[in-house]
């Protein structure tokens, strides 16, 4: 009895074999990985180096884009290509992959794709010109730079995330948190709480509370000229940082090749604007010689080595290391400064060519090659050097082969790097081999890209070595003679998880035990036990993902679907900043039905398309019927029309090289509405646009400056050439946008100077320049506002941010304030034009709900009010604050009831405890009949962290003024609560009469009964993370009523335990509410009232860890439920919940109970208690279904069916 008191999926081993693409041959230079899961191929993320791919070609006819050649056009047919520096590959090889260390083809395709979009990889001079454009932009718009005081009338950009993911999929189900690729990790030399990281696309991040389970990360470079990070180093003063701009592995024409310095821990950066390093497009390595009072800074770039002798104020190229070489690594050894340099690529290229070692004995002023590479160092390409501490004689060098495809060896020197011994690493087997890593070839097929070597400085012999490459990491304690694997990218074979592709490492001796940091394509992996276990929890809060696409369900605007580089396709969890992995591989194009939100589409490379009606869960179905995958382009783009143009929500568009495809049945079949016989569709991020008024009007970007246009739904097309109509137009068309049925815009991604946007007012027949005010940088996406029927309001996603025109391109302005200087790849506009979202390549997803540049008033800047400094009470501060302000509580206890009815931040003390306690006399709050300590109502975004809410109420439980809940959320309010706690939620005494009288006390309640009090809506939305809830006599957390939602993750919810006269439940989801309950620890919810409690589910009452009696939609995953009467209790006809991966241990009566409504359990582990799973039917026939549920050590039975009152209980599965 319960009582309520108040198909194959990508990333899961989706089989990609048998592709019809084997006839299409591609050529290039880069490699990636694929891993076999049983007989199915798991496709994981792809990466691109900074190298030209001029030999790339397709089978399309030769053509040209003005005076610059397009590699997709000019290299002839694929079968005729013959470039000795490249290896041919088929698209089938890209999607099918290899069987061991990785797929040596997919990265080649990605590099060719990017090169084709921009016409070149990193042409000389482009990085410096982009930095100059950034400087011009910030000079012109100083009040719109991130961190500046915004000017009146400017929309404010807000970061949406991802800050974390509680579910992840890469072939296995994971509960880890990934962030973006890291280039550097710098722990403070004397403060264990201060750590810096450099994200490849997201800049520098800092935390000053790293030792917390979930540290607070703060971006420190959003206001500088680019978030593209190359390298980072600390000076002699640990508050001094040297930052090098330009990601060496991005492969796009980025701003880079410049240096900045901070002397205050990243708060400010000098010199303004930056110091350019001549001829360099990226910074690869920075090391600092601190042996003198003034720092000497050494900077490795793609154009040799630069040196500063004045603490980073000026730099000059050094003699001895050739210009045009890539200086990958530096180390200060007993012999002097050692450098590894790779020659043969030239500026802007990285990862291919023979490597040489150089030595300097004058603090980097001059360099000499080490003769014959020291005797034992040979056959090496890119090389990473490592020492335990400055001046060591023992040095290790981890090297790729010169072609970049293979691991060369690990070399060891005992004389500071002057002579070397190869350790024959690849021929060795680890002590614990596995199918992913049978030997010590850690670099796999992309040795140019993933290299990590770390020496433990606490080992005086310098024999303790950590290595990592593509899929695994390993450790040796005998100088490289024997090895033990530490991590596996799918957390299998008894190994802990770390994301694949390792790049950075650091060691800190501070704290109770040494900390080892690994940085990889998924962010941080931390170990404090010498590598026995690793944790990714510290990634939470790092918003540095590289997002290609963004879309939204218009019927639920909080929902977001985004495709990410190397992190799959992810879906936002409710209104939180959590984005869960839902579709594996690289996440590319994403789209959602704009008429009704019924259907979402996601994709991976080469037109692999998938559909889902619930994209928040990994239940995607492949839908490529009708698409000729043999001529697919690498990036899979998706377009969904407006609800006016497509009221069915079933129409979507995608492209291949010669085709534009359309489906009008949600992807079940695709029809080619354009099949080119000459020319091709440019394989860009956003190549297709549909008129907001009708699907008859479609346009697609083509080569040689062409725009392909139809006005009859694809029956007839015209090729409209911008070249020749707009002077200076270079082609490389990237995106097209309809403003209405006549007005059409097009943009270019060429990195070279020329007009950026062209406009047609007659459906594409004639074009004029429409780029006044735009920076001269590549544009990735144009999007016209559906709120402007004239077609004059357009947004442009550029390499430097987002621009807007409201006069049809006559004038463009930087749009909004607060967006970092980051590449923006794609935009989403809601059907009413009021919500604008942006997918950035390095800083995640951003949004503004004020999609217009001009407004009648500008809100004042958010302020912070201190209690008790500025106001004596919390309520006084809340009353004085405006929306967006912060209330900061000093340590102490505040005995008061508080009501918040505006969007505010409430922050407890970072040191000490800030507690809001029930006062001695409770009164009714603003909601009739409720007595709460904290009430949230009519506020869409209240954020509380590090605050404790505590009772008990002093009045007896049967008093009309007894405490009913600690926190109440109603009237459509939304609360986000993290850290802190809710404790002692009971009346003056805990007694049976309290529980039975209906006056028991709950911790937090989101929503009340259906309906309203005095006409007030009573729904509430709760997001709670990392909060401790305990000491309640009612329920720890209640989410109740239609419209109420909960995202309850990683909390500890502890009932009063045995011996108390209480009737608690840990979490209740009731009466139409929906919640996501994941990774919580819930225990000690026991009913010991002798008159009514006991094991009989029909005649007696039990307490549950989780009780759900609501409509379908609640997800219960990966929770730990221990010592409750019932672990999970699921009640509802037709199935209330998705229950999977929970651990239920020693729950007194039942591990799980399913009553009066069919439900299923999947992958649960149940140990102890009387019965593992009970199925109960006393008001309707009920079937419980088990999928891979483990039940052990129960005292009565593993399973039990209980039928009553003419109804039958069934149990199927196991």
- Give the sheet arrangement for strand 336-342, strand by strand: 326-333, 336-342, 355-360, 368-369
Query: How confident is the model over 1068-1090, as a mean pLDDT?
Result: 89
d(CA 162, CA 177): 10
Secondary structure element (H or E) that encloses residue 1068, with its range: strand 1065-1070
Per-residue pLDDT band at 880 (split at 50, 70, 90):
confident
Q: What is the pLDDT of residues 286-307, one digit of tens each?
A: 999 999 999 999 999 999 999 9
Contacting residues for 460 by C-beta, under 8 A, at least 6 apart? none
Contacting residues for 914 by C-beta, under 8 A, at least 6 apart? 889, 890, 891, 892, 894, 908, 946, 947, 948
Contact present, 669 and 686 (Cβ < 8 Å) = no
Provide the mean pLDDT of the chain: 83
The percent of residues in the chain predicted with pLDDT above 70, rounded, is: 84
Contact present, 922 and 897 (Cβ < 8 Å) = yes
Answer with the residue of higher pLDDT: 446 or 1017.
Answer: 446
Q: What is the pLDDT of residues 1106-1142, one digit of tens each?
A: 999 888 888 999 999 999 999 999 887 567 788 899 9
Query: How confident is the model over 656-681, as a mean pLDDT?
Result: 93
pLDDT the model gives residue 408: 95
Per-residue pLDDT band at 1056 (split at 50, 70, 90):
confident
pLDDT the model gives residue 115: 61
pLDDT the model gives residue 54: 28
Query: How confident is the model over 309-334, as a mean pLDDT?
Result: 94
d(CA 161, CA 593): 22
Q: What is the phi/psi pair of residue 597, to 5°?
A: 70, 15
pLDDT the model gives residue 116: 62
| Dihedral of alpha carbons 312, 317, 320, 326, sign | positive
For residue 958, what are the CA distances in angstroms to 718, 967, 1000?
80, 20, 9
Domain boundaries of the chain, sorted by first residue: 20-121, 184-539, 547-848, 883-1076, 1094-1098+1105-1214
Fold of 547-848: Methylamine Dehydrogenase; Chain H (2.130.10)
Contact present, 636 and 91 (Cβ < 8 Å) = no
d(CA 300, CA 307): 9
Q: What is the pLDDT of residues 686-713, one digit of tens each?
A: 999 999 999 999 999 998 889 999 999 9
The first and second tokens of residue 523, run together, are 């962010």
Q: What is the pLDDT of residues 134-149, one digit of tens each?
A: 777 877 788 888 887 7
Contacting residues for 626 by C-beta, under 8 A, at least 6 apart? 661, 663, 669, 670, 671, 672
- Total-model pTM: 0.66
d(CA 837, CA 557): 11
Lowest-pLDDT choice from 39-53, 369-383, 803-817 = 39-53
| CA-closest candidate to residue 930, choices 869, 884, 971, 974 | 971
Q: What is the pLDDT of residues 180-236, one digit of tens each?
A: 999 999 999 999 999 999 999 999 999 999 999 999 999 999 988 788 899 999 999
Per-residue pLDDT band at 18 (split at 50, 70, 90):
very low
* Percent composition of the chain: helix, strand, coil (DSSP 3-state, to 5): 5, 40, 55
First to last CA, the chain: 24
pLDDT the model gives residue 953: 61
pLDDT the model gives residue 378: 83
Common-topology check for domains 184-539 and 547-848: yes
Radius of gyration of the chain (CA): 30
Per-residue pLDDT band at 42 (split at 50, 70, 90):
very low
d(CA 442, CA 486): 12
Torsion, Cα of 395, 401, 403, 406 (10° steps): -120
For residue 1018, the 8-state DSSP code is: -
C-beta contacts of 142-148 below 8 A and 24+ residues apart = 143/817, 144/814, 144/816, 144/817, 144/818, 145/223, 145/817, 145/821, 146/222, 146/223, 146/818, 146/819, 146/820, 146/821, 147/222, 147/223, 147/818, 148/223, 148/817
Q: Which residue has the tokens 């008061």?
A: 896
SS3 of 282-351: CEEEEEEECCCCCCEEEEEEECEEEEECCCCCCCEECECCCCCCEEEEEEEECCEEEEEEECCCCCCCCC
3-state secondary structure of 1025: strand
Residue 152 has a CB neighbour count (10 Å cut-off) of 11
Per-residue pLDDT band at 663 (split at 50, 70, 90):
very high
Asked whether the predicted pLDDT for residue 436 surpasses 90, the reply is: yes
pLDDT the model gives residue 335: 97
What is the residue-wise DSSP string for 538-580?
GGTT----BEEEEE--TTSTT--EEEETTTEEEEE-TTSSBEE
d(CA 385, CA 974): 51
The first and second tokens of residue 1192, run together, are 């052990």
Q: Supply angle C-alpha 1154, 1157, 1158, rounded to 5.
A: 80
pLDDT the model gives residue 51: 28
d(CA 1117, CA 1080): 9
pLDDT the model gives residue 248: 87
Q: What is the pLDDT of residues 729-758, one digit of tens each?
A: 888 899 999 999 999 999 999 888 788 999
Contacting residues for 839 by C-beta, under 8 A, at least 6 apart? 547, 548, 549, 550, 562, 563, 824, 825, 826, 827, 828, 845
d(CA 607, CA 604): 7
Q: What is the pLDDT of residues 384-419, one digit of tens each?
A: 999 999 999 999 999 999 988 899 999 999 999 999
Residue 812 CB-half CA count within 13 A: 25
d(CA 253, CA 884): 38
Q: What is the pLDDT of residues 540-551, one digit of tens each?
A: 999 999 999 999
Q: Does domain 184-539 have CATH number 1.20.970.10?
A: no
Per-residue pLDDT band at 370 (split at 50, 70, 90):
very high
Give the start-end residues of each E strand in 799-903.
801-805, 813-814, 824-829, 836-840, 845-848, 864-867, 886-889, 892-895, 898-900
Backbone conformation region of residue 892, classed left if phi is above 0, alpha if psi is from -120 to 50, else beta = left
Give the residue ranges of DSSP H helices in 704-807: none
Query: How confident is the model over 1168-1194, as a mean pLDDT?
Result: 90
d(CA 1201, CA 27): 62
Q: Is 532 exposed, middle or buried (0-12, 13-18, 19+ CB in 10 A)?
A: exposed
Helix and strand element counts for the chain (H, E): 6, 98
Q: Supply angle C-alpha 160, 166, 172, rounded to 5.
A: 130
For residue 150, the 8-state DSSP code is: P
Residues paired with residue 506 on neighbouring β-strands, in sequence order: 517
Q: What is the pLDDT of residues 64-73, one digit of tens each?
A: 222 223 322 2
């Amino acid at each position: 009895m319960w009582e309520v008191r108040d198909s194959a999926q990508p990333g899961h081993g989706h089989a990609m074999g048998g592709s019809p693409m084997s006839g299409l041959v591609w050529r290039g230079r880069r490699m990636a990985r694929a891993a076999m899961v049983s007989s199915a191929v798991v496709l994981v993320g792809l990466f691109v180096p900074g190298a030209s791919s001029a030999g790339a070609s397709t089978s399309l006819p030769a053509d040209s884009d003005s005076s610059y050649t397009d590699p997709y056009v000019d290299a002839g047919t694929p079968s005729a290509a013959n470039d000795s520096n490249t290896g041919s590959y088929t698209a089938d090889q890209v999607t099918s992959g290899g069987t061991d260390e990785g797929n040596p083809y997919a990265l080649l395709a990605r590099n060719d794709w990017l090169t084709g979009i921009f016409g070149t990889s990193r042409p000389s001079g482009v990085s410096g010109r982009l930095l100059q454009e950034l400087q011009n932009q910030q000079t012109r718009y100083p009040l719109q730079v991130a961190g500046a005081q915004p000017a009146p009338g400017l929309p404010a950009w807000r970061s949406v995330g991802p800050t974390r993911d509680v579910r992840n999929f890469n072939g296995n189900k994971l509960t880890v948190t990934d962030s973006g690729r890291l280039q550097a990790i710098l722990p403070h030399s004397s403060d264990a709480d201060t750590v810096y990281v450099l994200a490849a696309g997201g800049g520098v991040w800092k935390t000053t509370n790293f030792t917390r389970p979930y540290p607070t990360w703060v971006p420190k470079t959003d206001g500088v000229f680019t978030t593209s990070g190359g390298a980072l180093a600390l000076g002699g003063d640990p508050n001094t940082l040297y930052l090098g701009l330009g990601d060496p592995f991005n492969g796009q024409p980025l701003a880079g090749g410049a240096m900045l310095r901070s002397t205050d821990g990243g708060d400010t950066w000098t010199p303004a604007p930056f110091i350019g390093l001549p001829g360099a497009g990226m910074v690869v390595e920075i090391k600092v010689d601190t042996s003198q009072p003034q720092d000497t800074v050494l900077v490795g770039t793609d154009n040799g080595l630069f040196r500063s002798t004045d603490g980073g104020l000026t730099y000059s190229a050094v003699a001895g290391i050739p210009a045009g070489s890539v200086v990958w690594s530096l180390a200060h050894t007993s012999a002097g400064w050692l450098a590894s340099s790779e020659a043969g690529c030239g500026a802007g290229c990285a990862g291919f060519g023979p490597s040489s070692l150089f030595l300097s004995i004058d603090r980097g002023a001059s360099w000499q090659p080490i003769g014959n590479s020291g005797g034992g160092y040979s056959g090496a390409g890119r090389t990473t050097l490592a020492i335990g501490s400055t001046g060591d004689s023992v040095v290790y060098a981890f090297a790729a082969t010169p072609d970049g495809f293979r691991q060369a060896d690990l070399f060891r020197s005992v004389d500071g790097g002057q002579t070397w011994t190869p350790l024959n690493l690849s021929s060795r087997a680890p002590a614990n081999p596995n199918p992913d890593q049978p030997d010590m070839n850690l670099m796999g097929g992309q040795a140019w890209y993933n290299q990590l070597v770390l020496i433990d400085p606490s080992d005086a012999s310098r024999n303790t070595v950590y290595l990592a490459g593509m899929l695994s990491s390993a450790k040796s304690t005998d100088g490289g003679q024997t090895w033990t694997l530490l991590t596996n990218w799918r957390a299998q074979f008894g190994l802990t998880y770390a994301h694949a592709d390792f790049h950075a490492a650091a060691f800190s001796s501070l704290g109770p035990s040494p900390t080892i940091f690994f940085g990889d394509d998924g962010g941080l992996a931390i170990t404090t036990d010498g590598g026995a276990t690793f944790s990714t929890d510290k990634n939470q809060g790092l918003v540095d993902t590289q997002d290609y696409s963004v879309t939204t369900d218009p019927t639920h605007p909080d929902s977001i679907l985004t495709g990410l580089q190397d992190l799959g396709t992810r879906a936002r969890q409710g209104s939180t900043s959590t984005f869960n992995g839902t579709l594996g591989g690289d996440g590319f194009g994403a789209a959602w039905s704009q008429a009704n939100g019924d259907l979402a589409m996601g994709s991976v490379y080469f037109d692999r398309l998938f559909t889902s009606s619930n994209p928040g869960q990994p239940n995607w179905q492949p839908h490529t019927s009708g698409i000729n995958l043999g001529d697919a382009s690498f990036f899979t783009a998706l377009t969904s029309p407006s609800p006016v143009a497509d009221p069915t929500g079933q129409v979507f568009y995608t492209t291949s090289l010669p085709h534009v495809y359309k489906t009008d049945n949600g992807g079940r079949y695709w029809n080619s509405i354009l099949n080119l016989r000459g020319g091709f569709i440019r394989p860009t991020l956003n190549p297709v646009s549909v008129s907001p008024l009708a699907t008859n009007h479609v346009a697609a970007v083509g080569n040689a400056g062409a725009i392909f246009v139809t006005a009859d739904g694809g029956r007839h097309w015209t090729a409209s050439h911008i070249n020749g109509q707009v002077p200076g137009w270079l082609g490389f068309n990237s995106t097209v946008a309809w403003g209405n049925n006549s007005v059409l815009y097009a943009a270019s991604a060429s990195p070279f100077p020329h007009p950026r946007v062209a406009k047609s007012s007659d459906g594409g027949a004639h074009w004029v320049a429409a780029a006044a005010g735009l920076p001269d940088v590549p544009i990735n996406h144009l999007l016209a506002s559906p709120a402007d029927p004239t077609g004059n309001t357009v947004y442009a996603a550029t390499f430097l941010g987002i621009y807007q025109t409201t006069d049809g391109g006559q004038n463009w302005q930087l749009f909004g304030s607060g967006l970092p200087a980051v590449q923006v790849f794609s935009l989403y506009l809601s059907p009413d034009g009021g919500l604008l979202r942006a997918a950035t390549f390095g800083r995640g997803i951003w949004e503004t709900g004020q999609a217009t540049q001009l407004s009648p008033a500008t809100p004042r800047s958010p302020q912070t009010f201190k209690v008790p400094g500025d106001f004596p009470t919390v309520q006084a501060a809340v009353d004085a604050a405006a929306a967006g302000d912060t209330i900061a509580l000093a340590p102490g206890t505040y005995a008061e009831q508080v009501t918040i009815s505006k969007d505010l931040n409430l922050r407890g003390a970072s040191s000490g405890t800030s507690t809001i306690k029930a006062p001695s006399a409770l009164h009714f709050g603003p909601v009739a009949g409720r007595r709460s300590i904290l009430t949230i109502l009519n506020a869409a975004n209240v954020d509380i962290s590090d605050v404790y809410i505590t009772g008990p109420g002093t009045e007896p439980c049967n008093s009309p003024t007894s405490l009913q809940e600690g926190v109440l959320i109603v009237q459509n309010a939304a609360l986000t609560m993290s850290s802190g706690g809710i404790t002692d939620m009971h009346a003056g005494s805990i007694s049976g009469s309290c529980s039975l009288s209906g006056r028991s006390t709950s911790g937090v309640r989101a929503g009340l009964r259906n309906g309203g009090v005095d006409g007030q809506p009573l729904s509430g939305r709760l997001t709670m993370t990392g909060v401790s809830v305990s000491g309640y006599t009612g329920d720890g957390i209640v989410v109740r009523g239609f419209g109420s939602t909960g995202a309850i993750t990683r909390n500890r919810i502890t009932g009063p335990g045995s011996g108390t006269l209480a009737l608690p439940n840990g979490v209740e989801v009731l009466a139409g509410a929906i919640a996501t309950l994941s990774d919580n620890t819930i225990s000690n919810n026991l009913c010991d009232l002798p008159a009514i409690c006991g094991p009989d589910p029909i005649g007696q009452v039990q307490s549950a860890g989780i009780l759900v009696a609501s409509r379908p939609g609640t997800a219960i995953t990966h929770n730990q439920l221990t010592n409750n009467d019932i672990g999970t209790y699921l009640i509802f006809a037709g199935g209330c919940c998705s229950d999977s991966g929970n651990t239920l241990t020693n729950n007194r009566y039942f591990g799980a109970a399913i009553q009066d409504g069919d439900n299923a359990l999947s992958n649960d582990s149940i140990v102890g208690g009387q019965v593992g799973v009970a199925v109960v039917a006393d008001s309707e026939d009920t079937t419980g279904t088990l999928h891979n549920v483990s039940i052990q050590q129960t005292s009565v039975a593993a399973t039990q069916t209980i039928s009553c009152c003419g109804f039958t209980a069934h149990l199927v599965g196991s």
